[in-house]
Amino acid sequence: MTLLDRRTLLTSTVAGVALLATGCGTGSGGSGEAAGGASTGATGAGAAGAFPVTIKHALGTATIPAAPKRVVTLGQGAAETAIALGVIPVGTETYAWGADKDGHLPWVKEAVQAAGGTLPTTFTGGQQVDVEKIAELSPDLILAPWSGITAAEYDQLKDIAPTVAYAKTPWATTWDGEITTVATALGKPDQAPVLIKKIDDTLAAAAKAHPRWAGKTFAYTYTTGPGTLGVYMPQEQRVTMISKLGLTLDPVIATLQPKDGADYTLIGLENANKLKDADLLFTFYMDAATKKQVESQPLYAAIPAVKRGTVVTSSDQQLVTAMSMINPLTVPWALPRLSTLIDEKVALLG
């Protein structure tokens, strides 16, 4: 099985319950200050003594000679972490699902505006990275630690600027690993543990504030069309977020074997009964028509969590996107909204 682009998995679920298909982690999460100490420019230079920085990754080695002044980000999470570190990118990959007409996600836009900065230029990413547009931005660093860039794309990008890709597998970077990589590349490695602890603390505080969540079992599911059913694995970022809120991932998930190092796997609708012990199902539907189609499938409708109405889902594309990744901007933005959804469904369990 070929690893699917996280966004491809989302947008290709024409008839399914897809969940944005991307990564994992461990975290910290302090206050609601999304941007932290973001600077007012496109840069936030790291300590001069931190450079040069050399980072090895799956596609090669990036050597960053000096504090970058024009950063471009690909994939997910890198832009948010850079902003939290005081570095506003000059360019970011657009995210159509949940973004505004210019491709900006709300927490990014809010953080940049709060810092008095200039919003990044957006460009096409995913399976057709707009290399020419990236070159026009004259970057001195390209961050893609949680992405699906190919070796061929990397060969083009590294000729434009030092490019940092994923450590081992596309779309399988842990959230804390991404924060550490981005902070290191920006010459601010000492700030990574601070951001990680802040996210962890925020999620732990939410768990403590909602003791009824403790021990409730869950699975996080997706579909890629009629008759399909997939689950996200323990290390996937959206699963990690829910686990850190005090809920317990259904033990059956650990018995499944994804292929190619993926953090998600299709189990088939015929195996829907594997989820019989989950108190809650987390998922989302592409639209109302897709939701109706998915729920009309007898095997899906027979899942106990579906039957009793304890499916945690939202039609808000921005929230679904924020729930799919853990970083310094998404966690404080998503948590109040997500908490309300969980509370409503936990109450039904008695």
Longest dimension (CA), the chain: 62
Alpha carbon 315 to chain centroid distance? 18
Task: Spell out the alpha helix ranges (H) of 186-266.
Answer: 192-209, 237-244
pLDDT at 92: 97
- Structural domains in the chain, CATH included, are 48-190 (3.40.50.1980), 201-349 (3.40.50.1980)
* Residue-level pLDDT at 48: 64
Q: What is the DSSP string of 144-168?
A: -SSS---HHHHHHHTTTS-EE--SS
Q: What is the pLDDT of residue 58?
A: 97
Q: What is the pLDDT of residue 206?
A: 98
Q: What is the pLDDT of residue 84?
A: 98
pLDDT of res. 46: 58
Rounded to the nearest 10°, the torsion over CA 1, 6, 334, 311 is -40
Q: Could you tell me which of 336, 349, 345 has the C-alpha nearest to residue 311?
A: 345
User: Which residues are registered as beta bridge partners of 142?
Assistant: 72, 163
Cα 203 from Cα 113, distance rounded (Å) = 25
Residues 282, 89: Cα–Cα separation, whole Å:
32
Peptide bond into 52 cis (omega under 30): yes
* pLDDT of 263: 87
Convert 250-301 into a string of H (helix), E (strand) and C (coil). Answer: CHHHHHCCCCCCCCEEECCHHHHHHHCCCCEEECCCCCHHHHHHHHCCHHHH
Q: Would you give per-residue pLDDT tens digits along the chain (350 residues)?
A: 333 444 444 433 333 333 333 333 333 333 333 333 222 233 345 566 689 999 999 999 999 999 999 999 999 999 999 999 999 999 999 987 888 988 999 999 999 999 999 999 999 888 889 999 999 999 999 999 999 999 999 999 999 999 999 999 898 889 999 999 999 999 999 999 999 999 999 999 999 999 999 999 999 999 888 899 999 999 999 999 999 999 999 999 999 988 777 889 999 999 999 999 999 999 988 888 888 999 999 999 999 999 999 999 999 999 999 999 999 999 999 999 999 999 999 999 98
Please give the pLDDT value at position 95.
84
3-state secondary structure of 209: helix
Query: What does the alpha-carbon distance between residue 273 and residue 18 come to, in Å, rounded to a whole number?
Result: 19
d(CA 54, CA 61): 7
Query: What is the C-alpha separation between 198 and 30, in angstroms, rounded?
Result: 4
> Which runs of E-coded beta strand occur in 66-190?
71-73, 91-93, 121-123, 141-143, 163-164
Q: What is the pLDDT of residue 42?
A: 32
Q: Compute φ and ψ for 51, nearest 5 degrees.
A: -110, 155
